[in-house]
């Protein structure tokens, strides 16, 4: 088990503040946050490249905070791969094996095994400047795995890859994790975290603000920042005063199906669960509001409408629906939200 205990670090104008989390042996932990949130600095502290001002790092019960990099049982794959440009793929993978005192035959066998696992055995005589980003990432992984680390640290490993290569590498990372290697992976991409993680830690301005399973983070985000990070655009402060209705942002009422009374918290619903029509329609949906389209954003799933209906609502519709209603900026629309799609999260 990897444990980070009350780590703090002041670095230039940035401050990591009392960072604590643990990763069970064999788990896949993703640290999720925006650029500049402190993700890479945490990895560097775990790896031993940077010393913390306070706190400690333990691995399998042993305090490794002051241990040398080589004695931590931890491997780090950098975002920019950091492979040796003057060495072949074979020599790159073999490099850490030489320091372990293996003979030439043992090194060749291990290089062959790792290259085959990474699907780069056909590239062993090539040099890094002839490889694609995905191939370079696999070389970096093979070289790091040659050290047989107890824990693998990954710094934005998919960030610079196109969609197909990203999917292939995700599968490879799952395979590595399924073989028992503990992984700590940092990213700014929530979909990446959902696809890979057993547990997610959300970091913001040098603090961990939520730590849970991806499902828990998605269904019960603790703040608007986390909700937006999880792709939930419709997230509002909410109060239940009379039991029958919930007041959103002190402006708009919706039907209360939460079963709770006299409390405050947050309401959220997905953009996909907002029904848009050109005029008010008769239906069983109780939450109906007239609004004005203030923005139309093309997405890979259709058109995201930003509607001012007393509160700002994001709705996702198809291009066909948009064309049928002749929607444009400043169009008047009706939006409807099914009560079953609305989640109320009580403030703790």
Residues 269-291 have a mean pLDDT of 88
pLDDT(284) > 80: no
Residue 348 banded pLDDT, cuts 50, 70, 90: low
Neighbours of 30 (CB within 10 A): 25
The reported pLDDT for the residue numbered 191 is: 82
pLDDT(56) > 70: yes
Express each pLDDT in 216-239 by its tens digit. 888 888 888 888 888 888 999 899
The two tokens of residue 17 are 């503040």
Express each pLDDT in 138-192 by its tens digit. 999 999 999 889 999 999 988 877 777 888 888 899 999 999 999 999 999 888 8
Residues 186-199 have a mean pLDDT of 89
pLDDT(208) > 80: yes
Residue 34's φ and ψ, nearest 5 degrees, are -70, 165
Residues 29-58 have a mean pLDDT of 93
The two tokens of residue 76 are 């780090």
Domain ranges of the chain: 2-229, 234-346
How far is residue 176's CA from residue 347's CA, in Å, rounded to a whole number? 39
- For residue 89, give the DSSP letter: H
Residues 2-20 have a mean pLDDT of 93
Q: Which CATH class is domain 234-346?
A: mainly beta
CATH superfamily of 2-229: P-loop containing nucleotide triphosphate hydrolases (3.40.50.300)
The reported pLDDT for the residue numbered 155 is: 92
Residue 51's φ and ψ, nearest 5 degrees, are -90, 135
Neighbours of 342 (CB within 10 A): 22
Which 3 state secondary structure label does DSSP give 106?
A: helix
Residue 52 banded pLDDT, cuts 50, 70, 90: very high
The reported pLDDT for the residue numbered 219 is: 80
How far is residue 303's CA from residue 276's CA, in Å, rounded to a whole number? 12
How far is residue 107's CA from residue 110's CA, in Å, rounded to a whole number? 5
Express each pLDDT in 295-336 by its tens digit. 999 988 899 999 999 999 999 999 999 999 999 999 999 999
Q: Collect all residues with Cβ–Cβ distance below 8 Å to 32 and sequence separation of at least 6.
A: 186, 187, 188, 189, 190, 193, 200, 201, 202, 203, 229
How far is residue 239's CA from residue 341's CA, in Å, rounded to a whole number? 18
Neighbours of 236 (CB within 10 A): 22
Residues 114-119 have a mean pLDDT of 92
- Give me the percent of the chain exceeding a pLDDT of 70: 100
pLDDT(99) > 80: no
């Amino acid at each position: 088990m990897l444990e980070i205990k009350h780590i703090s670090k002041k670095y230039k104008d940035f401050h990591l503040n009392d960072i604590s989390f643990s990763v069970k042996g064999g788990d896949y932990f993703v640290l999720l946050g925006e650029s500049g949130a402190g993700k890479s600095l945490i990895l560097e502290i775990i790896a031993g490249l940077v010393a913390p001002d306070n706190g400690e790092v333990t691995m399998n019960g042993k305090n490794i905070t002051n241990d040398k990099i080589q004695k931590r049982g931890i491997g780090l794959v950098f975002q920019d791969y950091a492979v040796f440009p003057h060495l072949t793929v074979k020599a790159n993978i073999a490099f850490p094996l030489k320091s372990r005192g293996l003979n030439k035959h043992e090194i060749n066998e291990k290089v062959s095994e790792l290259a085959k696992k990474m699907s780069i055995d056909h590239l062993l005589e090539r040099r890094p400047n002839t490889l694609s980003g995905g191939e370079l990432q696999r070389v970096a992984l093979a070289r790091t795995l040659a050290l047989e680390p107890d824990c693998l640290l990954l710094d934005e490993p998919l960030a610079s890859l196109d969609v197909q290569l990203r999917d292939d590498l995700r599968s490879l990372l799952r395979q590595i994790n399924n073989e028992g290697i503990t992984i700590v992976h940092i990213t700014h991409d929530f979909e990446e975290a959902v696809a890979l993680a057993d547990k997610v830690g959300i970091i913001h301005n040098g603090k961990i603000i939520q730590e849970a399973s991806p499902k828990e983070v998605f269904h019960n985000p603790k703040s608007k920042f986390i909700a937006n990070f999880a792709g939930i655009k419709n997230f509002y402060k909410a109060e239940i005063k009379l039991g029958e209705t919930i007041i959103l942002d002190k402006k708009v009422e919706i039907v209360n199906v939460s079963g709770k009374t006299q409390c405050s918290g947050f309401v959220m619903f997905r953009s996909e669960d907002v029904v848009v029509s050109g005029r008010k329609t008769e239906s069983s949906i109780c939450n109906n509001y007239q609004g004005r389209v203030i923005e139309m954003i093309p997405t890979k799933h259709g058109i995201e409408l930003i509607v001012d209906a007393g509160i700002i609502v994001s709705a996702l519709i198809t291009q066909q629906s948009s064309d049928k209603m002749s929607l444009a900026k400043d169009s008047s629309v009706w939006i409807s939200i099914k009560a079953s799609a609305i989640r109320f999260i009580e403030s703790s």
